[in-house]
């Protein structure tokens, strides 16, 4: 079905670096057939047109001549009327009063509008296309309203983004509406001319603006009907999804406030283009080009929204925060673009052609004659464009610094170039953070006063303090508690150095104080900062707080960027064997934390630690938090009108102190709270038992505005966006919220208690171990069948075409490897050596861990896994982790027959080979002689979680084709087809999973006797 042949690009995703360097795009395979079939279709269409096209002029055609010859009378002879006859033919017309006032013009405009509307409505595509699309969008909601196979709750905030995509969105079926606007604008404007009535129409006593406004009004009315159909699509979607709380007000605001405005602005542009270009098909071409610029502006490097027609800084609607602070800049941008479309409309009216004369001169002459009448309108439009544009520019480029992508990268490059040599400067360690935070939700502002306690943990005296500030964050009143002078104060790149008069001696402590203000500087070209909002503030330390020393997280990582900005090449991540990188401990260091957070009286403010005290002062409410154990330097403040579900959890071991679990959520989003609580408790119990104690007295889970469905873990705190609470798992289906929760709780061990060195493979120690740990919790609480359902869903990603070339898992460098391949490798190993053995290895890894350098890497994990694996399976640990191994396993045939004793024997013919692929794509086949599962199963019936095995054993498998005979443990159910195959549970990494298992053929008893 690929018309343009671009599917080739998708296929090339699977090419290895060697392929990309050496392989040519060959005309073969399905791509060749695809090209051939489309090419022949195109040639066919051309031939058909050529053969059927009448080159003759219709008048001179034979049939026409025949027709004409018969029906057209000969031109009548000129008649000369006798004089005196004229009086008789006169008809007396009564002199009716005629009005040409505004009322008449309005009626004319309405008449033209109505007429235009109906001409679209009656055309074949005017209503039907949009109505069909709306119906499809509504009825097929269950097909797309899912996430990893889990249905979504069709709350209005979930449905709206589907119905109201931005004009610049390419990946939406609603791209249909702008295309229809382009088409019908041309049709309407050229209607009279195409009917040959232009001359007649031009003589009617209808002013130019009335025609323009009337036709535009007709199209606008049609767009309004289309938008109503969008709303209908949303309502059908919700009904089909079984959701019945229709928020009509939100629909009206979004669709008729936001989306209709966008479409009308676009229609204004297209109308003006058609009128100004004054040639229908050229007009289409220019209008489509203009739409192309809107669609691809960011890709051609146009970033400022003052330059992209109808652009805005985006909006979002959330149950927690409504339209939030996003709507104000939206309104300003729409006022600006509305003024432009008014200006375009006036210009279009000026050059509106009433005559046949298409020459530029004639039209300019006409415009000149009309100008005095439209002068005021033109001036008003110009004034509006200038004033609203000026206000926006003042906000985006004067009040705030205008930073485009290139500028941002250049700043990062400058930061590295100028201060990179301080990366190894000895810095004191942050041991305690004390904060006094005032959050003002209604003003979008916050005021933080911080005290950092810094200790010299090195063996050298430290004579200067380096500080990396987040660019554009206002920090004031920086002071240290000893005499010091400022050596470097770089506001632009955010770097400061204070020279201490008296150096900080080893073991000595000093304090650094500063004040940080979060103010809404109205809006930038990227919108508004949403850290502090009316309901659902979230101030993340990583985004705001200064870092002690040089911050290498801010460096450019991509090789291309580094080259472009003149930086020395550097691997995206330090090598696994880079021993110096194991001494970078900033993300592993621990500190005590204490904060007093104030907010408005009807909101709850949250920070890490136990709530020591809570009090009111005036119309504000204060919360004092303090941690009972040190945390890594990653934390956040939250403030919103929350509901709280609380439970106590006690570790299953003697003398354990109770831990308070709190789920702090938006009151309307309570659907998943119970399963979250269950998952948190089950996870804490499992991890405590298997890996070691949970260090804190609190565990909190908080909701914040936003569409994301994942969660984010910080010490003793997990936060999630609203999208998570809109997952709606069904009984018998995958309970993904439960699993995600278990994964995030696991991060309290993997990633927070246990911090890995920032080298290749770090993601395996954090994400793979968290996912693998969560799999054990899910298996233990929801059952093995549920785990299988989860694994099947996760394996779907294996089917995305991707290159087999990759480093081994120990040097994993992308999400696919750390979130999918890593957990699967651990799961495979678990199935070979046993769950307890793998847990022993993980526990040992944690036991040996220390936050002091050198920090652990995947090599430490590898060593522990080797230690728990018997010699006979050491090859497997190597194949799974230390090499990029694939197993091509295939069942060619499976035949069952009954033995004379009545038992059933299944004979399989399987093919096996093992290949190791390096990161360039070089393949090396290895001889196989290893254990692989052979299974015979009754497939899962409807409603059953997994297949029932009649046989499942590991067999010694060699490379190549081989025959295997197994005797089934039970009798196959009559009438149910058996399935048999090699590695039926896909423990080993096999890119082609579909051929592992085959249906079993039953050999009839009769034939056996004959043989
Ligand atoms: Zn994670």
Number of Cα atoms under 13 Å in the Cβ half of residue 973: 10
Q: How far is the CA of 632 from the centre of ligand 1 (A)?
A: 16
Q: How far is the CA of 750 from the centre of ligand 1 (A)?
A: 9
Q: How far is the CA of 743 from the centre of ligand 1 (A)?
A: 6
358-362-366 Cα angle (round to 5): 115
Contact 525, 305 (CB under 8 A): yes
DSSP structure class, residue 655: T
Q: How far is the CA of 775 from the centre of ligand 1 (A)?
A: 13
Contact 659, 677 (CB under 8 A): no
Q: How far is the CA of 813 from the centre of ligand 1 (A)?
A: 15
Q: How far is the CA of 818 from the centre of ligand 1 (A)?
A: 10
Q: How far is the CA of 551 from the centre of ligand 1 (A)?
A: 23
Number of Cα atoms under 13 Å in the Cβ half of residue 99: 8
Neighbours of 110 (CB within 10 A): 15
Q: How far is the CA of 853 from the centre of ligand 1 (A)?
A: 23
Round to whole Å and give the CA distance between 798 and 663. 34
Q: How far is the CA of 751 from the centre of ligand 1 (A)?
A: 9
Q: How far is the CA of 416 from the centre of ligand 1 (A)?
A: 29
pLDDT at 869: 95
Q: How far is the CA of 726 from the centre of ligand 1 (A)?
A: 20
Q: What distance, in Å, lies between the first and last C-alpha atoms of the chain?
A: 50
For helices 156-163 and 208-240, the axis angle rounded to 10 degrees is 140
Q: How far is the CA of 1 from the centre of ligand 1 (A)?
A: 38
Q: How far is the CA of 168 from the centre of ligand 1 (A)?
A: 32
pLDDT at 841: 96
Q: Which residue in 203, 140, 136 sits closest to 176, CA to CA?
A: 136
Q: How far is the CA of 701 from the centre of ligand 1 (A)?
A: 15
Q: How far is the CA of 128 from the centre of ligand 1 (A)?
A: 46
Contact 688, 705 (CB under 8 A): no
Q: How far is the CA of 277 from the centre of ligand 1 (A)?
A: 55
Q: How far is the CA of 413 from the centre of ligand 1 (A)?
A: 29
Round to whole Å and give the CA distance between 327 and 157. 15
Neighbours of 181 (CB within 10 A): 24
Q: How far is the CA of 748 from the centre of ligand 1 (A)?
A: 10
The label of the residue with tokens 């497997």 reads 876
Q: How far is the CA of 106 from the centre of ligand 1 (A)?
A: 63
**Strand 658-665, strand 643-650: pairing:** antiparallel
Contact 999, 896 (CB under 8 A): no
pLDDT at 687: 95
Q: How far is the CA of 781 from the centre of ligand 1 (A)?
A: 20
Q: How far is the CA of 573 from the centre of ligand 1 (A)?
A: 19
Q: How far is the CA of 427 from the centre of ligand 1 (A)?
A: 30
Q: How far is the CA of 448 from the centre of ligand 1 (A)?
A: 29
Q: How far is the CA of 672 from the centre of ligand 1 (A)?
A: 19
Round to whole Å and give the CA distance between 787 and 771. 12
Q: How far is the CA of 823 from the centre of ligand 1 (A)?
A: 12
Q: How far is the CA of 797 from the centre of ligand 1 (A)?
A: 17
State whether residue 912 is helix, strand or coil: strand
pLDDT digits (tens, 9 = 90+) for 688-718: 999 999 989 999 999 999 999 989 999 999 9
Q: How far is the CA of 745 from the centre of ligand 1 (A)?
A: 9
Q: How far is the CA of 742 from the centre of ligand 1 (A)?
A: 10
**Strand 885-898, strand 484-490: pairing:** unpaired
Q: How far is the CA of 905 from the centre of ligand 1 (A)?
A: 46
Q: How far is the CA of 739 from the centre of ligand 1 (A)?
A: 11
Beta-bridged to residue 475, according to DSSP, are 516
Q: How far is the CA of 399 from the centre of ligand 1 (A)?
A: 38
Q: How far is the CA of 766 from the centre of ligand 1 (A)?
A: 7
Q: How far is the CA of 637 from the centre of ligand 1 (A)?
A: 20
Q: How far is the CA of 749 from the centre of ligand 1 (A)?
A: 11
Q: How far is the CA of 737 from the centre of ligand 1 (A)?
A: 13
Q: How far is the CA of 550 from the centre of ligand 1 (A)?
A: 26
**Strand 658-665, strand 711-714: pairing:** unpaired
Round to whole Å and give the CA distance between 271 and 265. 10
Q: How far is the CA of 868 from the centre of ligand 1 (A)?
A: 25
Spans of the chain, pLDDT less than 50: 58-61, 63-75, 84-85, 1006-1011
Q: E-assigned strands of 387-455? A: 429-440, 445-455
Q: How far is the CA of 127 from the centre of ligand 1 (A)?
A: 47
Q: How far is the CA of 721 from the centre of ligand 1 (A)?
A: 15
Q: How far is the CA of 990 from the centre of ligand 1 (A)?
A: 25
pLDDT at 61: 45
957-962-967 Cα angle (round to 5): 80
Q: How far is the CA of 636 from the centre of ligand 1 (A)?
A: 17
Q: How far is the CA of 954 from the centre of ligand 1 (A)?
A: 33
For the chain, helix (H) and strand (E) counts, in that order, are: 33, 31
Q: How far is the CA of 770 from the centre of ligand 1 (A)?
A: 6
Q: How far is the CA of 744 from the centre of ligand 1 (A)?
A: 6
pLDDT digits (tens, 9 = 90+) for 258-287: 999 999 999 999 999 998 888 889 999 999
Q: How far is the CA of 243 from the centre of ligand 1 (A)?
A: 31
Q: How far is the CA of 740 from the centre of ligand 1 (A)?
A: 8
Q: How far is the CA of 815 from the centre of ligand 1 (A)?
A: 10
Q: How far is the CA of 145 from the centre of ligand 1 (A)?
A: 24
Q: How far is the CA of 272 from the centre of ligand 1 (A)?
A: 52
pLDDT at 688: 94
For 91, list phi and psi in degrees, rounded to 5.
Answer: -110, 135
DSSP structure class, residue 152: B
Q: How far is the CA of 747 from the centre of ligand 1 (A)?
A: 7
Q: How far is the CA of 580 from the centre of ligand 1 (A)?
A: 26
pLDDT at 71: 45
Q: How far is the CA of 769 from the centre of ligand 1 (A)?
A: 9
Round to whole Å and give the CA distance between 258 and 256. 6
Q: How far is the CA of 713 from the centre of ligand 1 (A)?
A: 8
Q: How far is the CA of 625 from the centre of ligand 1 (A)?
A: 26
Q: How far is the CA of 752 from the centre of ligand 1 (A)?
A: 11
Q: How far is the CA of 741 from the centre of ligand 1 (A)?
A: 10
Q: How far is the CA of 817 from the centre of ligand 1 (A)?
A: 13
Q: How far is the CA of 782 from the centre of ligand 1 (A)?
A: 20
């Amino acid at each position: 079905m690929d018309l343009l042949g671009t599917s080739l690009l998708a296929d090339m995703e699977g090419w290895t670096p060697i392929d990309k360097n050496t392989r040519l795009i060959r005309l073969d395979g399905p791509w060749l057939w695809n090209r051939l079939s489309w090419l022949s279709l195109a040639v066919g269409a051309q031939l058909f047109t050529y053969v059927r096209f009448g080159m003759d002029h219709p008048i001179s055609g034979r049939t026409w001549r025949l027709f004409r010859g018969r029906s057209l009378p000969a031109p009548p002879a000129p008649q000369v009327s006798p004089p005196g006859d004229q009086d008789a033919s006169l008809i007396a017309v009564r002199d009716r009063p005629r009005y040409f006032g505004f009322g008449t013009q309005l009626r004319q405009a309405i008449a033209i509008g109505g007429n235009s509307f109906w001409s679209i409505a009656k055309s074949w595509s005017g209503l039907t296309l949009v109505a069909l699309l709306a119906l499809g969008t509504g009825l097929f909601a269950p097909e797309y309203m899912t996430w990893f196979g889990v249905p979504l709750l069709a709350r209005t905030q979930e449905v709206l983004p589907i119905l109201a995509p931005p004009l610049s969105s390419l990946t939406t079926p609603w791209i249909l509406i702008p295309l229809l606007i382009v088409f019908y604008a041309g049709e309407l404007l050229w209607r009279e001319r195409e009917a040959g009535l232009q001359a007649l129409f031009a003589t009617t006593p209808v002013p130019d603006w009335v025609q323009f406004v009337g036709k535009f009004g007709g199209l606008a009315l049609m767009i309004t009907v289309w938008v109503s159909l969008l709303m209908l699509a949303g309502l059908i979607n919700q009904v089909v999804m079984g959701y019945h709380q229709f928020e009509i007000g939100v629909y009206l605001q979004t669709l008729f406030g936001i989306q209709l405005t966008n479409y009308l602005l676009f229609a204004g542009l297209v109308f003006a283009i058609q009128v100004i270009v004054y040639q229908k098909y050229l007009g289409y071409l220019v209008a489509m080009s203009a739409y192309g610029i809107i669609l691809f502006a960011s890709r051609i490097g146009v970033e400022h929204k003052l330059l992209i027609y109808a652009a805005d800084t985006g909006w979002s609607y959330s149950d927690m925060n409504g339209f939030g602070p996003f709507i104000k800049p939206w309104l300003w941008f729409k006022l600006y673009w509305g003024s432009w479309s008014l200006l375009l409309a006036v210009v279009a009216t000026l050059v509106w052609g009433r005559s046949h004369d298409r020459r530029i001169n004639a039209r300019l002459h006409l415009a000149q004659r009309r100008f005095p009448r439209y002068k005021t309108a033109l001036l008003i439009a110009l004034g509006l464009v200038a004033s609203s544009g000026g206000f926006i520019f003042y906000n985006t480029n004067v009040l705030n610094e205008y930073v485009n992508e290139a500028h941002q990268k250049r700043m990062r490059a400058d930061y590295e170039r100028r201060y990179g040599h301080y990366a190894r400067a000895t810095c004191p360690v942050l041991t305690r953070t004390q904060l006094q935070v005032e959050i003002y939700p209604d003003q979008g502002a916050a005021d933080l006063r911080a005290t950092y306690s810094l200790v010299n943990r090195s063996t050298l005296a430290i004579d200067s303090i380096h500080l990396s500030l987040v660019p554009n964050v206002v920090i004031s009143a920086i002071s240290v508690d000893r005499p010091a002078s400022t050596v470097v104060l770089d506001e632009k790149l955010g770097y400061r150095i204070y020279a201490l008069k008296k150096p900080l001696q080893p073991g000595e402590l000093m304090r650094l104080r500063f004040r940080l203000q979060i103010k809404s500087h109205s809006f930038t070209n990227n919108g508004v900062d949403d850290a502090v909002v009316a309901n659902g503030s979230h101030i993340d330390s990583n985004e705001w707080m200064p870092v002690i020393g040089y911050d290498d997280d801010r460096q450019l990582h991509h090789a291309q960027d580094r080259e472009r900005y003149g930086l020395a090449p550097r691997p995206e991540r330090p090598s696994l064997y880079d021993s110096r990188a194991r001494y970078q401990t900033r993300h592993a260091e621990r500190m005590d934390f204490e904060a007093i957070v104030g907010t408005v009286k009807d909101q709850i403010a949250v920070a890490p630690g136990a709530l020591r005290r809570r009090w009111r002062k005036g119309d504000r409410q204060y919360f004092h938090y303090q941690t009972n154990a040190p945390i890594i330097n990653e934390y956040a403040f939250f403030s919103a009108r929350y509901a709280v579900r609380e439970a106590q959890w006690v570790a299953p071991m003697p003398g354990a102190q109770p831990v308070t679990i709190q789920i702090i959520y938006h009151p309307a989003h309570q659907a998943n709270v119970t399963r979250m609580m269950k998952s948190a408790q089950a996870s804490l119990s499992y991890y405590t038992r298997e890996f070691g104690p949970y260090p804190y007295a609190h565990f909190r889970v908080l909701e914040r505005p936003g569409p994301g469905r994942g969660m984010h873990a910080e010490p003793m705190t997990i936060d999630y966006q609203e999208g998570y609470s809109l997952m709606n798992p069904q009984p018998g289906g995958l309970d993904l919220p439960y699993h995600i929760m278990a994964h995030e709780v696991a991060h309290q061990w993997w990633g927070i208690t246990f911090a890995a060195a920032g080298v290749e493979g770090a993601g395996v120690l954090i994400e793979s171990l968290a996912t693998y740990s969560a799999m054990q919790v899910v298996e233990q609480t929801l059952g093995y069948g549920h785990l299988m359902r989860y694994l099947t869903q996760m394996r779907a990603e294996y089917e995305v075409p991707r290159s087999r070339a990759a480093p081994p898992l120990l040097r994993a460098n992308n999400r696919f490897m750390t979130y999918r391949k890593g957990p699967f490798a651990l799961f495979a190993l678990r199935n070979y050596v046993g769950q307890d053995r793998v847990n022993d290895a993980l526990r040992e890894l944690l036991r040996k861990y220390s936050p002091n350098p050198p920090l652990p890497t995947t090599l430490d994990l590898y060593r522990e896994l080797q230690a728990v694996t018997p010699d006979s399976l050491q090859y497997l640990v190597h194949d799974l982790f230390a090499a990029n191994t694939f197993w091509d396993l295939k069942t060619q045939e499976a035949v069952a027959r009954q033995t004379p004793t009545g038992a059933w024997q299944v004979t399989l013919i399987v093919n096996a080979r093992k290949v190791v692929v390096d990161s360039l794509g070089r393949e090396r086949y290895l001889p196989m002689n290893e254990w692989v599962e052979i299974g015979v199963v009754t497939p899962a019936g409807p409603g059953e979680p997994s297949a029932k095995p009649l046989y499942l054993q590991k067999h010694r498998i060699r490379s190549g084709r081989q025959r295997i005979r197994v005797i089934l443990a039970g009798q196959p159910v009559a009438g149910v087809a058996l399935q048999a195959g090699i590695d039926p549970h896909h423990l080993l990494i096999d890119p082609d999973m579909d051929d592992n298992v085959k249906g079993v053929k039953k050999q009839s008893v009769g034939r056996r006797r004959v043989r």
